[in-house]
Amino acid sequence: MGSLSADTSVQIALNNPIILTQILLQPFTPLKTCRLVSKFWNDIILSFPNPGLAIQLSCADGKVPEPDPIQFFATCFTLDARLTKRIHATCSTPLVDATLCVYSFTSKLIFLCDKFSDRVQILEVSLNVEKCLQSVYQVLKNCCPNLRQLRITCTFTNTRVTNFVPPEMREELEKKANLVVFTLSSNRVTEYLTTFTQLVVNASGNLREVTLPWGFCPDFGNSKKLASFTIAMDGVHFTDPVSRSDFNISRMINLIGGKLFTLKFANVEKPSTKNLKLTCVEDTLKNICNANNILAGVRNLCLIEIYEPSLLGGLRTAFPNLTRLQVDLYYRTGIRGGVNGMKLGVVLQTCRGWKGLKHLKLSLPAYPNEIGDIIGAMLDVKELFHRLKTFQLMTHSLAHSVFDLKKEEMDLFKQFLMAISNMERVSISKLYVDKETAENVTGFMVSNKMSVSKFSLIERPDYED
């Protein structure tokens, strides 16, 4: 029997899903390139849950829009509709003469979303000009009835903020019964944006997950299914006539708290970046506690920049049924100066009061100076670890000691290991020990059948042999 021709062998290979699967397992595989290999590969890639189309709809890098937009519209007529399930559109305009760019973006976005109106389920838009919001508004009002997720990112400069809301943008949107996720990221709080946000919330009665910047307080009275609310603490600037005093975030949380399962105060865009010290988080949480409301439905709580142990203790009353808690602290001093009282031992003792807590993640400015204090703080709350399923501990400090555990300290550490032996996952980052200590700890874990991969507790410094 003769051998297969080269063309036939290639065709067989290109119709073998195993080959494509192995290629897709490689990091940073360009899906666009894979689609061009064969119709079979193209069909497989477009069968993924959320195939996406990323397009730059206006000028960038100081360039002006193309003088003849016919090519874009012609491309839309031949575009595979499966690509438009998810659209990511970017409007990045130069600092001057932005009008043509805005017009280009607006016409293209509206045309694209109208042509594939029934297909679009995820719409992601990045803007640096406030006026571009009008095109998003028109899309929501007239297109995309099956939209499920809406994500908008705004990076405005002073010259791009008007605080003028066109009359047509005060009209209610068409109902978006399928919209369940709404995420807004903005470096500025403006009347334009807050009006737009309220219109989206009003039209989306089935929202389940919402992320808004600090300072946005829409009326969620129509959101009967809201389960997750994140307040993004990334650096937001306020512009007149909107002021901080206009926002009663604690009141809003108290009103929607009965619906919530997850509440987060967090850095969303740059989780590892230190912000200015945020007094607003502590003040908001104090207001929640002082209102004496019990938000019994909240199971997941994420906090950032709280430095008063008594406040954390008060949250046990306001949020009595937590199963997952994350606390992220950056600074060694408190928000208003003075000593940061949220030491490891204090935080763990406070968390012990949540009897239903199953998952705990702590990020501290620094660990205690002595290894004995670290181990002791955790041993003092052994019953907490008996209830927890997962525990993560990390530090933001860049200065780290390498600990050499003496016999007494090693005995205490072994007690801690036994206390956590039945947990599902424990991770302690940047806890550096010398070679002998690492060998002793690993040996003890192996002898007690504790998975080293499940319990990541110690690290060796890079400079050690």
pLDDT of residue 291: 83
> Residue 382, SS3?
helix
Which of 220, 247, 274 is at the close of a domain?
Answer: 247
CA distance 203 to 222: 8
In a domain, 415, yes or no: yes
Give the HSE-up count for residue 335: Cα atoms under 13 Å, Cβ half-sphere.
17
pLDDT of residue 102: 83
Q: Is-cis flag, bond preceding 67, omega within 30?
A: no
Closest residue by Cα to residue 465 from 440, 444, 438: 438
- The total domain count for the chain is 2
Mark whether 232 and 356 lie in a shared domain: no
In a domain, 298, yes or no: no
Mark whether 231 and 367 lie in a shared domain: no
How many angstroms separate the Cα of 437 from the Cα of each of 87, 333, 379, 392, 425? Answer: 53, 32, 19, 21, 21
Mark whether 236 and 361 lie in a shared domain: no
CA distance 57 to 62: 14
Mark whether 91 and 226 lie in a shared domain: yes
Q: How many CB atoms lie within 10 A of CB 20?
A: 20
CA distance 123 to 146: 11
Q: How many residues appear in the chain?
A: 465
pLDDT along the chain (465 residues), means of 10: 58 70 68 66 65 58 61 81 85 71 88 93 91 93 96 79 75 94 90 92 96 89 91 64 52 80 76 46 84 89 87 92 92 60 90 96 92 95 96 89 91 95 94 92 92 88 62
| CA 256 from centre of chain | 20
Which of 185, 213, 247 is at the close of a domain?
Answer: 247
Which of 247, 275, 297 is at the close of a domain?
Answer: 247
H/E element, 391: strand 390-395
Mark whether 243 and 347 lie in a shared domain: no
In a domain, 25, yes or no: no
In a domain, 335, yes or no: no
CA distance 282 to 305: 7
pLDDT of residue 245: 39
pLDDT of residue 6: 58
Mark whether 240 and 124 lie in a shared domain: yes
In a domain, 319, yes or no: no
Task: Give the chain's end-to-end CA distance (angstroms, integer).
Answer: 60
Mark whether 101 and 225 lie in a shared domain: yes
In a domain, 14, yes or no: no
Contact 109, 136 (CB under 8 A): yes
Domain of 123?
45-247
Q: Are strands 122-127 and 86-91 parallel, antiparallel or unpaired?
A: parallel
Q: Is the pTM of this model over 0.85?
A: no
Contact 175, 148 (CB under 8 A): no
Mark whether 240 and 347 lie in a shared domain: no
CA distance 120 to 329: 40
Mark whether 367 and 220 lie in a shared domain: no
Mark whether 73 and 182 lie in a shared domain: yes
Mark whether 232 and 90 lie in a shared domain: yes
In a domain, 437, yes or no: yes
CB burial of residue 153 (10 Å; 0-12, 13-18, 19+): middle
In a domain, 50, yes or no: yes
Mark whether 91 and 197 lie in a shared domain: yes
Q: How many CB atoms lie within 10 A of CB 234?
A: 17
Return the structure tokens found at 182: 């709404």
Closest residue by Cα to residue 138 from 98, 196, 93: 196
